[in-house]
Chain A
Amino acid sequence: MNNNPLSPHIQIYNWHISSLVSISHRITGVINTLALSLICFWVWILLFGNESYEIVFNFFNSFVGKFFIIGFIWSYSFQILSEIRHWFWDLGYGFELKTSKITGVLVILGSIVITVVLYSTRGVLF
């Protein structure tokens, strides 16, 4: 059996909404862990006074910094919405193909909406 080839898998298999949301749930989980560490680092650096605060301030106002912030907001909103979907699954609801497709799309669209709302209201709401 050692000479028998392995049939192709991820190379040929179609993506569905559900599998896409599932892998994104994992990826955003990793991103969120890193992001939390970064936020801790940011809080920690505030202890060193004005100058170090300015470094962080300038970073978050740069293009790359803004990309990071928007990325974090999206990643968190996606994870939370997807987690809510998982709660319903754990209770035994939402397994029908149609329902899971709709909730999957809702998670994707919802995370984008939340990102836009939160980012555009920064400085107003918080």
Chain B
Amino acid sequence: MVQINLPKKSEIKKGHYYKDKTGSKNIRKVNIYRWDPATGGNPRIDTYEVDMDNCPSKVLDLLNKIKNEIDPSIAYRRSCAHGVCGSCAMNMDGKNGLACTKPHSEIRGDINIYPLPHLKVLKDLIGDLSTLYKQYESVQPWLKTTKKISDTEHLQSKNDRSKLDGLYECIMCACCSTSCPSYWWNGDKYLGPAVLLQAYRWIIDSRDEDRKERLKKVADELKLYRCHTIMNCTNACPKGLNPAKAIASIKKMLATS
């Protein structure tokens, strides 16, 4: 259901203001979404003044600096810091992306950091992705074959292998799915760009023998056709992939099969 306004208890209040203590002349204001399950209440925006002269280039560096030097209570996910694990996906400057690959110099004015949109917040910048993972499981993202298990590899031609390019690189960071208005309004039924891209990755794999069943399973008014080609997913993908095109390819396969 389309619900433009946030529920009452999700409305964002003004929070604390952390003034700069270093005396630096190169200061930027960083506004961060905060919510703590221990205290409850409404979420708030805390503002931090950060000394940019001693801060490395990425938004994740900025968050680490705040956590290390100003406010250790702030919570966010991060792991590899090289755009490979997908943990630090969040909304920065009104757009989803990975904090570890997004340079803060690209952001003009104050730096606004929110969790990924339209998720239940677990704490601060950490959203609950369990629905997305369940949907991922529902497309059975593993190779299905009737062949007996052998000692050799499943061989694939160069051309067939190239069909997986632009799909296998997906790191499931959820930047695309949580940028999609259709997923916001129908996230419980619509699979969303991330999961559909993964579904297509197995549909198009020449080694997989379950293509027909996979297509049949995904051919659903809500699961697939809630995609209206808004293209927010492709705009958001930090790996430069194209979920919108993958979804269109599934639609085209269904229309022509």
Would A90 and B91 be within 8 Å (CB), given that A5-B43, A7-B116, A8-B12 are in contact? no
Would A6 and B121 be within 8 Å (CB), given that A12-B91, A16-B235, A19-B181 are in contact? yes
Query: How far in angstroms is the closest Cβ of chain B from A30?
Result: 14
Q: Which of A1-41 contact B (CB under 8 A)?
A: 1, 3-14, 16, 18-19, 22
- One digit per residue, 1 when the CB lies within 8 angstroms of any chain A CB and 0 when it does not, for chain B 1-29 equals 00010110110100000000000000000
Q: Which of A6, A16, A96, A100 has the most CB of B within 10 A?
A: A6
CA–CA, A48 to B120, complex, Å? 60
Would A6 and B231 be within 8 Å (CB), given that A1-B128, A95-B245 are in contact? no
Query: How far in angstroms is the closest Cβ of chain A from B125?
Result: 9
The interface residues of chain A, by DSSP majority, are classed as: loop
Of A4, A10, A12, A19, the residue contacting B120 (CB under 8 A) is A4
Q: Which of B74-95 contact A (CB under 8 A)?
A: 91, 93-95
Would A13 and B179 be within 8 Å (CB), given that A7-B115, A100-B231 are in contact? yes
Q: Which residues of A contact B230 (CB under 8 A)?
A: 18-19, 22
Q: Which residues of B contact A22 (CB under 8 A)?
A: 228-231
Of B120, B234, B251, the residue contacting A90 (CB under 8 A) is B251
CA–CA, A9 to B249, complex, Å? 27
Judging by beta carbons under 8 Å apart, are B231 and A7 in contact?
no
CA–CA, A108 to B244, complex, Å? 21
Residue A123 at the chain B interface, CB threshold 8 Å: no
Judging by beta carbons under 8 Å apart, are B248 and A92 in contact?
yes
Residue B148 at the chain A interface, CB threshold 8 Å: no
Binds A, one of B32-40, B150-158, B194-202: B32-40
Q: Which of under 10, 10 to 19, 20 to 34, or 35 or more describes the interface residues of A?
A: 20 to 34
Would A6 and B94 be within 8 Å (CB), given that A12-B112, A95-B234, A95-B242 are in contact? no
Residue B122 at the chain A interface, CB threshold 8 Å: yes
Number of residues of chain B lying within 8 A (CB) of chain A: 46
Judging by beta carbons under 8 Å apart, are B179 and A6 in contact?
no
Judging by beta carbons under 8 Å apart, are B43 and A13 in contact?
no
Would A13 and B91 be within 8 Å (CB), given that A22-B230, A90-B248, A96-B242 are in contact? yes
- One digit per residue, 1 when the CB lies within 8 angstroms of any chain A CB and 0 when it does not, for chain B 226-251 equals 00111110110000001011001101
Judging by beta carbons under 8 Å apart, are B95 and A14 in contact?
yes
Judging by beta carbons under 8 Å apart, are A7 and B40 in contact?
no
Would A5 and B112 be within 8 Å (CB), given that A22-B231, A97-B234 are in contact? no
Judging by beta carbons under 8 Å apart, are B4 and A10 in contact?
yes
CA–CA, A59 to B12, complex, Å? 47
Residue B114 at the chain A interface, CB threshold 8 Å: yes
Of A4, A8, A10, A97, the residue contacting B235 (CB under 8 A) is A97
Residues of B within 8 A of A (CB): 4, 6-7, 9-10, 12, 33, 35, 37, 40, 42-43, 91, 93-95, 112, 114-122, 127-128, 179, 181, 184, 228-232, 234-235, 242, 244-245, 248-249, 251-252, 255
Residues of A within 8 A of B (CB): 1, 3-14, 16, 18-19, 22, 86, 89-92, 95-97, 100
The 10 closest A-B pairs by CB, nearest first: A14-B94, A18-B231, A5-B10, A95-B245, A9-B117, A9-B118, A7-B115, A22-B230, A4-B120, A6-B10
